[in-house]
């Protein structure tokens, strides 16, 4: 069996792993990665499908471990390339992806499974195992083939007191371990965190304290898929006799699905439209919205920027019921500062116990290794520090260091005769979604965007005699995001005129240079020399 991660290794997001056996391909998850500050204008980042693009007919199914965006967000883009790839997942996971695909006008072929189910699809024998995570209905998957058995945990933790009472099925892990797990793909996100992840129920006192002491409205920001956390907020609001409204399209959509399927319990009369809350007393209002990661178009960001129908006022309490995803720190702290400036009391993980992770810490991972006793280990879902920490835990529990494989996105891992080895590499770069464009933006384009943002733009308009190449009038300069005095622009214009004269006198018998190229080079050189800046320079040449 060949295993290729096209995303999710060395990063938090973009999870997608391809399993190849006997000429057929099975995919586990297909998620997105959210952009960082150095990727301006990008909506999301996809896995690179080029490895499977010529073999889409060989894909037998996509197994979805749970309904978070970093595991299902890339599905609409994959199904654009082949719409009838079967999607296998739990009831809630499929409901979330079907709602997402409806917006893309795609009707998927789905196969609903639950923990304990076993399905065989063209050489892949799949068994599904319940795992606890920060979203209901999460599943691990055991993949059996004639080449051996792989156990993929998906995202998981070992909360012994989950709100939905659905714990990670360690009994199934032990049974699979007794059968013989040849390769164990394990969630690495919290591998460098000692001990065990705090239980969800332990957040109740801190959340209750927020509701007990808040004098005015409470605005709660959370992931639109974090049903457990939102259930806690709803239960606490009910006890404190506050009405609740959902704000944000994805929040309304996901919570409606969760409530309709019975995963979210909303007491009768508690939920109202947020527009009706304007007539309610402030101390009886709770708003639950998106934007916990500082997303610029999400509801909380717009509220902080005073660009939303809901206006946060002095005395309001904002509860950020989420952790910081690496790379989002600046955006989140920017929102916290903006809300604090308005006069809101901002409660977050840094100053109160209002969030716990959905991922297993080091103690839980060690526990799993001792139960499963895998022959080979391949840490997934994490940055390099997480992957390395996970591998060290595996070794400390008795796994042979030679059998711990730390791969990269695109590295092929072959499982044969009970041994996993690195065997090669395929393309697995970042694919940027920029508005409606997929894959059109390159790293070079992003460098240009960063330069535009950091250095500004200078446009030079020159009127030139096409017969002799002489400039007819002094060039005009137009600047955006770049400050320059008129006197200095006159000097820059003189430099441009000199460069054109020099090029004209030196071109006898030589290659004729484009005047645009001469003007841009001369302007850029002058700006760098006298301003120590490198704005983007564009020349427009008009024939006299």
Residue 133 annotated as lining a ligand binding site: yes
Residue 104 annotated as lining a ligand binding site: no
Please name the residues in contact with 52: beta carbons below 8 A apart, sequence gap of 6 or more: 18, 25, 27, 58, 59
DSSP secondary structure string for all residues of 509-532: TSPPPPHHHHHHHHHHHHHHHHHS
- Is 359 designated active site? yes
Residue 359 annotated as lining a ligand binding site: yes
Residue 240 annotated as lining a ligand binding site: no
Residue 434 annotated as lining a ligand binding site: yes
Edge-to-edge strand ranges of the sheet holding 377-380? 118-121, 124-130, 139-145, 148-152, 183-187, 377-380
187, 192, 316, 409: the active-site residue = 187
Q: Are 107 and 463 in contact (CB under 8 A)?
A: no
Residue 226 annotated as lining a ligand binding site: yes
DSSP secondary structure string for all residues of 179-235: H--SEEEEE-TBTTS-S-PPPGGGGHHHHHHHHHH--S-EEEE--TT-HHHHHHHHH
The pair phi, psi for residue 424, each rounded to 5°, is 170, -165
- Is 187 designated active site? yes
228, 348, 359, 386: the active-site residue = 359
CA angle 169, 229, 174 (to 5 degrees): 10
Residue 41 annotated as lining a ligand binding site: yes
Q: At what angle do helices 204-213 and 227-239 cross, to 10 degrees?
A: 40
Please name the residues in contact with 368: beta carbons below 8 A apart, sequence gap of 6 or more: 153, 158, 170, 173, 186, 360
If 0-12 CB within 10 Å is exposed, 13-18 middle and 19+ buried, where does residue 184 land?
buried
The conformation of residue 284, written as its DSSP 8-state character, comes to G
Residue 137 annotated as lining a ligand binding site: no
Residue 225 annotated as lining a ligand binding site: yes
Which residues fall in the annotated binding site for substrate? 224-226, 355-359
Which residues fall in the annotated binding site for Zn(2+)? 66, 68, 70-71, 133, 155, 381
Catalytic residue positions, numbered: 187, 359
Which residues fall in the annotated binding site for Ca(2+)? 41, 434
Which residues fall in the annotated binding site? 41, 66, 68, 70-71, 133, 155, 224-226, 355-359, 381, 434
């Amino acid at each position: 069996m060949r295993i290729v991660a096209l995303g999710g290794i060395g990063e938090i997001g973009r999870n997608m792993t391809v399993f190849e056996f006997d000429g057929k391909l099975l995919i586990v998850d297909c998620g997105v990665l959210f952009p960082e500050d150095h990727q301006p204008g990008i909506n999301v980042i996809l896995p690179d499908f080029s490895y499977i693009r010529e073999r889409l007919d060989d894909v037998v199914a996509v197994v979805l471990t749970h309904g978070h965006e970093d595991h299902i967000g890339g599905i609409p883009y994959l199904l654009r390339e082949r719409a009838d790839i079967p999607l296998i997942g739990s009831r809630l996971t499929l409901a979330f992806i079907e709602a997402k695909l409806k917006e893309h006008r795609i009707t998927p072929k789905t196969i609903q499974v639950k923990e304990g189910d076993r399905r065989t699809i063209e050489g892949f024998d799949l068994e599904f195992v319940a795992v606890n995570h920060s979203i209901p209905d999460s599943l691990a998957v055991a993949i059996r083939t004639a080449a051996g058995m792989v156990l993929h945990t998906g995202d998981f933790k070992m909360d012994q007191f989950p709100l939905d009472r659905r714990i990670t099925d360690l009994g199934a892990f032990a049974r699979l371990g007794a059968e013989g797990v040849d390769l164990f793909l394990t969630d690495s996100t919290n591998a460098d965190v000692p001990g065990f992840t705090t239980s969800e129920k332990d957040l109740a006192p801190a959340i209750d304290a927020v509701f007990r002491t808040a004098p005015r409205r409470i605005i709660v920001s959370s992931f639109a898929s974090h049903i457990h956390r939102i259930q806690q907020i709803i239960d606490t609001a009910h006890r404190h006799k506050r009405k609740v409204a959902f704000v944000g399209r994805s929040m309304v959509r996901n919570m409606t699905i969760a409530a309709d399927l019975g995963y979210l319990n909303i007491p009768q009369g508690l939920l109202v439209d947020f527009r009706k809350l304007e007539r309610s007393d402030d101390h009886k209002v709770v708003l639950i919205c998106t934007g916990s990661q500082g997303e610029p178009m999400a509801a909380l960001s717009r509220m902080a920027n005073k660009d939303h129908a809901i206006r946060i006022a002095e005395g309001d309490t904002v509860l950020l019921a989420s952790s910081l995803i690496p790379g989002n720190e600046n955006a989140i702290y920017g929102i916290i500062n903006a809300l604090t400036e308005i006069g809101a009391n901002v409660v977050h993980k840094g100053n109160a116990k209002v969030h716990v992770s959905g991922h297993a810490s080091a103690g839980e991972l060690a526990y799993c290794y001792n139960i499963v006793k895998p022959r080979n280990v391949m840490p997934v879902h994490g940055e390099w520090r997480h992957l390395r920490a996970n591998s060290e835990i595996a070794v400390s529990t008795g796994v042979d260091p030679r059998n711990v494989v730390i791969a990269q996105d695109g590295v092929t891992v072959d499982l044969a005769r009970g041994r996993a080895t690195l065997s090669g590499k395929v393309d697995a770069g970042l694919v940027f979604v920029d508005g409606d464009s997929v894959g059109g933006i390159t790293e070079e384009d992003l460098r240009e965007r960063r330069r535009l943002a950091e250095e500004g733009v200078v446009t030079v308009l020159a009127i030139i005699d096409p017969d002799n190449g002489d400039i007819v009038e002094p060039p005009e300069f137009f600047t955006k995001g770049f400050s320059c005095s008129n006197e200095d622009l006159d000097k820059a214009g003189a430099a441009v005129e000199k460069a054109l004269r020099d090029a004209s006198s030196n071109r006898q018998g030589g290659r004729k240079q484009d005047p645009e190229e001469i003007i841009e080079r001369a302007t850029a050189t002058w700006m760098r020399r006298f301003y120590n800046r490198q704005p983007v320079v564009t020349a427009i040449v008009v024939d006299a």
